[in-house]
Amino acid sequence: MITLKLNGKDHSLDVTEDMPLLWAIRDVAGYNGTKFGCGMGLCGACTIHIDGAPARSCITPIGSVKGQDISTIDALHVDPVGQVVQKAWLDTAVAQCGYCQGGQIMSATALLKTNPNPSDEQIEEAMAGNICRCGTYNRIKTAIRQASTHLKEAKA
């Protein structure tokens, strides 16, 4: 049994330490918002937060995250920055097919938590590796800028 702190709750999972975190999250713990994309950590669809930092769950063995805080898109609605990012995504109609958007939102949220006022270059760097087959990259950047502006206004 491995105890995983997932979305603020402890989950005791009967899995091997080498099981990819993605499958433990989806198939064992039952959080299906995190998506399987490439299985090689290249597309970003499976992006989660490990202690607040974005990580690819498809290539992360569950045994390597013992004692760390794991957050998925399934619980982002309770995160104040995550709420702002999700609203910006809706306001700018980012998603087309939507498959990659959970990973995109997780990466954008992690960026804005560490850098609430990123430049275009910093946005592009933070979002590199999150692939959108529909090509919504300009709308993603617009949504991140909008979320950044909203976060600045909320602090004022």
Share of the chain above pLDDT 70, in %: 99
Supply the pLDDT for residue 98: 87
Report d(CA 10, CA 60) in Å as an integer: 18
- For 40-87, what is each residue's pLDDT tens digit? 999 999 999 999 999 999 999 999 999 999 999 999 999 999 999 999
Does the structure show a pLDDT above 70 at 156? Answer: no
**Residue 61 has what DSSP assignment?**
B
- For 107-153, what is each residue's pLDDT tens digit? 999 999 999 999 999 999 999 999 999 999 999 999 999 999 999 88
Supply the pLDDT for residue 34: 96
Tokens representing 16 are: 């091997």
Tell me which of 53 and 96 has the higher pLDDT. Answer: 53
Q: How far apart, in Å, are the Cα atoms of 96 and each of 71, 91, 132, 136?
A: 24, 13, 9, 8
Instruction: Find all residues with CB under 8 Å of 124, minimum gap 6, and list them.
Output: 141
Supply the pLDDT for residue 7: 97
For residue 122, give the H/E element and its range: helix 120-127
144 touches 91 (CB < 8 A): no
The whole-chain average pLDDT of the chain stands at 95
